[in-house]
Chain A
Amino acid sequence: MAARPFYQDAVDDPYAYAARWKEKQQKPVVAHFCSYTPEELIWAAGALPLRIFGQSERIVAADTHLQSYSCSLVRGALEDALAGRLDFADGFVFPHTCDSIQRLSDIWRLNVPHGFHLDAVLPVKLDTPSARDYLRDIVARFGRDLGHNLGIDISAEALAATVTLYNRLRAGLQALYRLRSERPAVISSSAVHAISRAAMVMDREAFADGLDSLLAELAGCEQPPATRKRLVLSGGLCSMPDIYNLIETAGGDVVWDDFCTGSRYFDGQIGDEQPWLAGIADRYRERMVCPAKHMDLTRRGAHLVDLVAATRADGVIFVLLKFCDPHAFDYPYMKGMLDTAGIPSLLFEIEDQQISAGQVRTRCEAFIEML
């Protein structure tokens, strides 16, 4: 029997994992919402950065604060907090992204009694010198506010060690994605997805070590011939992990993504030719943007077309969260750019985890058959 994968606990129940980590390490847990959280600073401050995905499937308490036209991430996260499932967390960080997260921060501040509350009001545009300076200012300020709340000064040594760790961890994820793209048969896409999620939950050192061992192990695997259709996924976060199995069962291989819980998390390294804080801030301008940020008018669409070419993919599946406005606004133009490049695409709009697997399977099969 195969050993339990190093990431499995963190994926099966991230909250239980983080609570156990806290108890064992006697260190704080800081929960947050998005890949724009400068989580390197949380780790450097000696705390565990925990990405909240919103677990609750049944929304009860959150319905008295949020309309039904909020996305499942926002409603699920608030439900988790109000139901006490996040009581172990020492604080919460809300980076400025979309209108819904922005208001979630206010509602959270007014209704979730425990934990410190930090807003990292990042710029919305990232393409000007003044935005670069403001972004650096906000990252530096976040470090100070965080240190104040945790009662420590983040040392230069801790920051340097963290940057090294994060660069290693991100390079590992990059290597894993590349491996998956080059030799899809050596590891399933659902495992790669699980590992990406674990990267946002686990003790970062334990994760980086686990990932490096796994990569060493996979390096020696034989490569069976690939005959399946290659697909790139596009969207924010995948709230439907089953989709990987459905795609694989339908004869497809997921070879890359542009998810914020996928490649946007590991995209880009922190450079060492400037102060660490500036390097952490600048990485956000160098990696691919989330649609809630402005870089230029077609960056995300061009990136997707490039990704398809680089990974020799046959098509793209958009997996969008219902009520996620920034992604829904980008979809028509991105699909248009794919159409122009002759790349077929399919759209799934997912409201919550209750979506019919049967329907998704049928559409996946039809799409892959057509490729």
Chain B
Amino acid sequence: MTTPDKTIDEARERRKIKCVKKMKEIMTHYYIDAKTAADQGKKVAWITSGGPVEPLIAMDVIPVYPENHAAMIGASKMGVDLCIQSEEMGYAPDLCSYARADIACAPVEGGPIGGLPRPDMLICCNNICGTVLKWYEAQARFFKVPLFILDTPFCHTEFSEEARRYVRRQIDEYIQFLEQHCGRPFDRERMNAVGRLSIEGQRLWQAVLDTTTHKPAPMSAFDAFFHLALIVTLRGTQTVVDYYTELLQEMQARIAQGISAVENEEYRLLWDNLPIWFRTRWLSEKFAAHNACLVADTYTSAWCSSLQYLREDDFVDTMAEGYSRIYLNIGVDAMAESVMAMIDKYQADGLVMHSNRSCKPYSLGQYDIQRIVREKKKLPTLMIEADMVDERLFAEGPTATRIDAFMEMLKAGQNGARA
């Protein structure tokens, strides 16, 4: 005989994604590896989340992602303290909270894992924002290590021929930079293999995300926020390919067994912008309580958003375009098109946008995307004002009220929800 409580526990247990444990192990090993890099005679490079990691993998340099680390800081609710420390260092509270948390973390080795391993070099690609340039300059001054900048001209309406030449030249400069600082020649063969693994990893990640086209969705955007870490950090390795193969199988099995991320999925929503790392569980439960599942998001899909430009047989040549034309480095109208394509693909009933105080390239333009989606898709939309790491910029009560009001509107079949 089962008690009602036990039934609930069993249902919850059944919905848990089994790969999570493996993912945590991989990430733990990865950070241990990175923290002991010097003992293994390996170099460590800090790199931006949209940066070209494949040449580092090919050179056996361990890539470390301050943004991934900042997300962990946010998720472990250590963001406010570090942000305050950065303000004491003279950084304005309006600046990106990832940057503030990381800059404050460096001198004190704070945060959930006692700081990141010291970098031997910094690799900054501005395809995600201009903030990373200033952030990496600050860290290059602090750590006194070489900084390589991959400058990917912004594609307002096109990727120009001038930009193509410029970025392609920089790929060669990047390789020379690595050869110089690693003290050995670049292995083209190895690079080709890494390039193939990178593309395979991105395809698998897209396939994982695409499992949510199934109704009900076997996973949610909140799960994607978690499983994203590998495609960001270890892209180009067999580890990523193996892991996402397994995760994809698990998702397919969940579909076959009728296991969904949200117990009684009735409403399917698309999320825009970075997660609010310190409130992911709360938000997940809040939407689930309305039988709503965030089935997809513009953020985690960004790591496979330029697959169409990459070629397995010529990764080095095509990566210039691939890294220039990612989701955030394009115009607001192109982003709106992408959002609408996702709404169709995942059959979303509404759009939830996080107006993220920290991220101007992601957030400025959201009001226009919201308007375009409302006009063309006739879907209700919700704007949540918050921040990815700095909890001081989040008000739980008003946010809850707005989510409730939005969901009521959605249930009533009305459009244009914007408080």
State the A residues within 8 Å of B (CB).
64-67, 69-70, 96, 98-100, 102-107, 109-111, 119, 121, 123-125, 128, 130-131, 133-134, 137-138, 141, 291-292, 294, 297-298, 320, 322-323, 325-326, 328-333, 335-336, 349
Contacts and interface: CB of A to CB of B under 8 A. Distances in A.
A134 B162 contact: yes
A330 B91 CA distance: 9
- Give the one of B134, B173, B333 with max A CB within 10 A: B134
Interface string B126-160: 10011101110110110000010101011011001
A123 B174 CA distance: 16
A96 B166 CA distance: 15
B368 A110 contact: yes
Contacts of B140: 297
The residue among B138, B157, B166 with the most chain A CB atoms within 10 A of its own CB is B166
B90 A119 contact: no
B166 A123 contact: yes
A107 B134 contact: no
Closest 6 CB pairs of A and B: A332-B90, A329-B134, A103-B364, A134-B166, A106-B332, A328-B92
Centre residue among B135, B332, B366 by max chain A CB count within 10 A: B332
Given A121-B156, A121-B163, A297 B94 contact: no
Interface stretch (B8-16, B55-63, B287-295, B353-361): B353-361
B323 to A, nearest CB: 14
B166 A131 contact: yes
B368 A102 contact: no
Given A66-B367, A70-B364, A294-B133, A102 B154 contact: yes
A66 B364 CA distance: 6
B364 A99 contact: yes
A107 B138 contact: no
Interface string B217-228: 000000000000
A365 to B, nearest CB: 23
Contacts of B170: 128, 130
Given A106-B368, A131-B166, A134-B166, 9 more contacts: A67-B355, A67-B363, A69-B360, A70-B360, A100-B364, A107-B332, A109-B331, A325-B134, A336-B90
A325 B97 CA distance: 12
14 contacts: A67-B355, A98-B130, A102-B154, A105-B156, A121-B163, A124-B130, A130-B173, A134-B165, A141-B160, A297-B140, A325-B360, A329-B95, A331-B90, A335-B90
B94 A119 contact: no
A291 B95 CA distance: 14
The bracket for how many chain B residues form the interface is: 35 or more
A257 B404 CA distance: 52
Contact of B333 (A110, A141, A323): A110
Contacts of A331: 90-92
A138 B367 CA distance: 30
A315 B370 CA distance: 47
B94 A121 contact: no
B96 A325 contact: yes
A58 to B, nearest CB: 19
Nearest to B366: A67
Given A123-B166, A297-B137, A107 B90 contact: no
B89 interface: yes
A123 B163 CA distance: 9
Which of A69, A98, A291, A332 counts the most chain B CB atoms within 10 A? A69
B365 interface: yes
Contact of B94 (A105, A106, A123, A323): A323
A298 B141 contact: yes
A218 B332 CA distance: 50
A138 B95 contact: no
A96 B137 contact: no
Contacts of B162: 134, 137-138, 141
Contacts of A110: 332-333, 368
B377 interface: no
B365 A292 contact: no
Given A99-B361, A107-B365, A119-B157, A297 B147 contact: yes
A109 B156 CA distance: 10
Contacts of B154: 96, 102, 119, 121
